[in-house]
A and B are shown apart, each in its own frame.
Chain A
C-alpha cells in the first residue's frame, strides 16, 4: 500500500512539474485566435474586450494578465507554444524586446493613414531605430495636482520660484507646501528636462549635457530641503491624501484615491523654471499594443484586423471614459465627453511638453544610476560634482557591461 502511495505521489509531482509548461498563444491556437498579455487594470481590459467584441467579432481574443510581463517575455518570447501573440505594455521596453528579436515592426501591419491622427509624441515613443514597434493606445504623464482646500486656484504657482516661495511659507509643523518623489529618476527627470538636460540621449550617451543636470540638481535641492526625507510613493501619496501636503506631482493613478479621500483636487500646468523659461517636463509613458514575430508571420490577417480596429478613435474614447486614460489618437479629444474631462485634457496639454521615456535598452540601467545620483545628492548630502562623476562612471560601466 505504502509503495503504491509513494509511486502515486512521485507521479503526481512529475505531472505537476510537467504542467508548469502551460500553453499560450502562438502555434497553440488557430489563425483567428489571438492571445494578448497585459498588466493593466480591469476597467481598461473590459473596455477593450467590449469594444473588440463589436469591432472584430470574428476574432477570438483572449486577454491574460501577467504581473511580471517583461520577465515572462524574456523567457518565452521566441517560443510560439508559450508566448502570446501580442502584448499591451508601456513603450519603454521596446528597445530591449526589439534587440532581443522577438518584436515585429508594425509598419506593414497597420494602414499608414490610421496613424496620421496619433499624437506625434506617442509615435515618437513607439519608434525605435526609425522603426515603429507599437500601436499607441493611450498615454500617462505626471501632473501638477493640488488640494483646493489649502492651495487656492489663484495661488497655484506658475513658476518654480513661486513654488519655492509657497513651500517656504507653508512648510512646517508636520505640514508641507509641496511633496514629490524627489529622489527617484522618473519624477526628477522633469526638473532635469526643465534645465534642458536629459538622463540619456537616443544614442545611449548618459547625461549628454552634464552642466544642465548639475544645475538642475543644485536648484532642485532647495525644494528637496522643504520636503520629507522619504522619497517613496507611499509616503508622498499618503501625505497628499491625508491633507498634510498642499500640492504634489503625481500620475493619473492618484486621482481615484484622491477623490475617494474627499480631496477637492485641482490640476494645473507644470511650473516653469525661472532660470530657463522652460516648464518642468515629465516623462510620458505610452501604453500600446506590440506584436510578436511569430504572430506577425503566421497570423498576419488576424493581427491586421485587430490593429485596424484598435487604431480607430472609438476605442480611445471608450478607454478615456472608462478609466480616465489620455488617448493617443488626437481625434478622441473632439468627443464632447472627453473634452469635458479635466484630467484627460490636462494630460493632453502636458503631452505638448512631456518627454517620452527613452525606449533604448541602455535606459534600463539609467533608472538605477540616476536614482543613486539623486539619493547621494538629496538624501546623503554628498557633493554634486563628485556624485555626478561617480554616477557617470557607473553609467558607462553598466552600459558597457550590457554588451
Chain B
C-alpha cells in the first residue's frame, strides 16, 4: 500500500515539469482570458482596470447578430466540407500509398508532406498571388490561353469559399494522409486474405474491414482537424479579408467575423468575453462529439 502511494507520488513528480509547462502554456492563458473578460481592460483603462462582472458578456451578445449567425453557419459548412474532402482524399491517397510493391513509395510520401513543411503564412500568400491573383495568377494565365475572360477568383462569396477550401485542403492533407497511412498499415493482412477467400470485393473489404479498423485510430486526428478547421483564421483572413487587401468577398468564419467586430477595438475585456464564448461553443461541440464516440463504442 505504501509503495503504491509512493509510486503514485513519483509519477506525479516526474510528470510535474510537463504538467507545469502545460499549465503555463494552455491552462493559464484560458484562465487569464476568463479573468480579463470580467474586467473593463481597454485603451482607457489599460493598467487601472477593474472588475465589471458580466457586462462584457452582455455586450458581446450584441456581436452575435445576424452577421455572426451567417458566419457561424458558413463556418459549420466550411468545416463539414473540409473534413469530408480531407477524409476522402486522404483515404484514397493513403490507400494508393499502401499498394503492395509500389515503387518510390518514400518519395511520394515525402512529396505529399511538402505543404506541411512550409510555413502556413507563406503558403497562403503564395496561393493568393501565384494562383488566384487576377493580374499575375496562374489560373488567369490559363484562362487567357484558353481564350476565356480573366476572373477575380476571390471576389465573390462562393468562389472565395471554394478557393479558401482548396488552400485549406492543401495545408491540412499531409497530416490526415500520415495518420491514415499509419492506420492502414496497422490492419492485419490476414483479415483481407480471409475476406478474399470468402469472395469479398474491394468495396466490401473497405466497408467491413478497412473503415471499422481505422476508425478508432483516426478519430483523435479527425477531432483535432475539426477544431483546427472550425477556428481557422489565417486562410480566410489572408486570402480575402486582410486589411489593405480585401477582395470583396463577404465570406467570414466566426473568428474573422469576431476579429473585425470586436478584436480591433483594443477593448481586451470585451474581446476576451467573445473569445470565451467561442471557446465554450467549441468545447460544447467537442464534448458532444466525444460523447457520441464513446456511445458508439
- Residues of A bordering B, CB below 8 Å: 6, 10, 13-14, 17, 74, 77-78, 96, 99-102, 181, 183-184, 186, 228-235, 238-239, 361, 364-365, 367-368, 371-372, 375-376, 378-380, 394, 397-398, 401-403
Which residue of chain B is the closest to A228 with respect to CB atoms? B135
* Residues of B with C-beta under 8 A to A229: 134, 152, 155, 247-248
- The proximity string for B residues 165-178 relative to A, scoring 1 for CB distances below 8 Å and 0 otherwise, is 00000000000000
The residues of B that contact A99 with a CB separation of less than 8 Å are: 43-44, 46
Residues of A within 8 A of B62 (CB): 397
Please, could you name 30 A-B residue pairs with CB atoms under 8 Å apart, sorted by A? A10-B18, A13-B17, A14-B17, A17-B21, A78-B47, A96-B43, A186-B244, A228-B134, A228-B135, A229-B134, A229-B155, A230-B133, A231-B244, A235-B135, A238-B136, A361-B266, A368-B243, A368-B264, A371-B244, A372-B246, A372-B260, A375-B246, A376-B248, A379-B152, A379-B248, A380-B248, A394-B261, A397-B261, A398-B264, A402-B43
Interface string of B97-130 (1 = CB under 8 A from A): 0000000000000000000000000000000010
Tell me the smallest distance from the CB of A346 to a CB of chain B, in Å. 24
Inside 8 A of A228's CB, which chain B residues have their CB? 134-135
Q: Which residues of B contact A (CB under 8 A)?
A: 14, 17-18, 20-21, 24, 42-44, 46-48, 59, 62, 129, 133-136, 152, 155, 242-248, 250, 260-262, 264-267, 270
A181-B244, A229-B155 known; A403 and B44 CB under 8 Å? yes
**Chain B residues with CB under 8 A of A17:** 21, 24
Q: Which residues of A contact B243 (CB under 8 A)?
A: 184, 367-368, 371
State the CA gap A385–B84 with chains docked (Å). Answer: 41
Query: For residue A181, which residue of chain B has the nearest CB?
Result: B244
Nearest Cβ distance between residue A368 and chain B, in whole angstroms? 5
* Cβ contacts under 8 Å, A100 to chain B: 43, 46-47
Q: Point out the residue from A10, A102, A233, A365 that lies within 8 Å of B245, measured CB to CB.
A: A233
Tell me the total A-B contact number using a CB cutoff of 8 A.
110
Q: How far is the CB of A194 from chain B (nearest CB, A)?
A: 20
The closest CB in chain A to the CB of B62 belongs to A397
Q: How many Å lie between the Cα of A74 and that of B41 in the bound state?
A: 12
**Chain A residues with CB below 8 A from B270, complex form:** 401
Given contacts A234-B129, A371-B243, A372-B246, contact A365 B47 (CB under 8 A): no
Task: Indicate whether A401 sits within 8 Å of B135 (C-beta atoms), given known contacts A183-B246, A233-B245.
Answer: no
Q: How distant is A245 from chain B, measured CB to nearest CB, in Å? A: 10
* Residues of B with C-beta under 8 A to A398: 261, 264-265
Q: Which residue from chain A places its CB closest to the CB of B262 in the assembled complex? A: A401
Contact B17–A230 (Cβ < 8 Å): no
Are A403 and B267 in contact, with the CB atoms below 8 A? yes
7 tightest CB-CB pairs across the interface, nearest first?
A: A379-B248, A232-B245, A10-B17, A100-B46, A375-B246, A229-B152, A380-B248
Measured between beta carbons, the chain B residues less than 8 angstroms from A184 are 243-245
Given contacts A230-B134, A230-B135, contact A402 B265 (CB under 8 A): yes
Q: Chain A residues with Cβ under 8 A from B261's Cβ?
A: 394, 397-398
B134 cross-chain contacts in A, Cβ below 8 A: 228-230
Cβ-defined partner of B43 (8 Å) among A232, A238, A361, A380: A361
Among the interface residues B62, B129, B264, which one has the most CB atoms of the partner chain A within 10 A? Answer: B264
Known: A99-B44, A364-B266. 7 other contacts (CB 8 A): A13-B17, A17-B24, A230-B133, A231-B245, A371-B243, A401-B59, A401-B270
In the bound assembly, the distance between CA atoms of A169 and B136 in angstroms comes to 23
Closest to A183 in B: B246
By a CB distance below 8 angstroms, the chain B residues around A14 are 17, 20
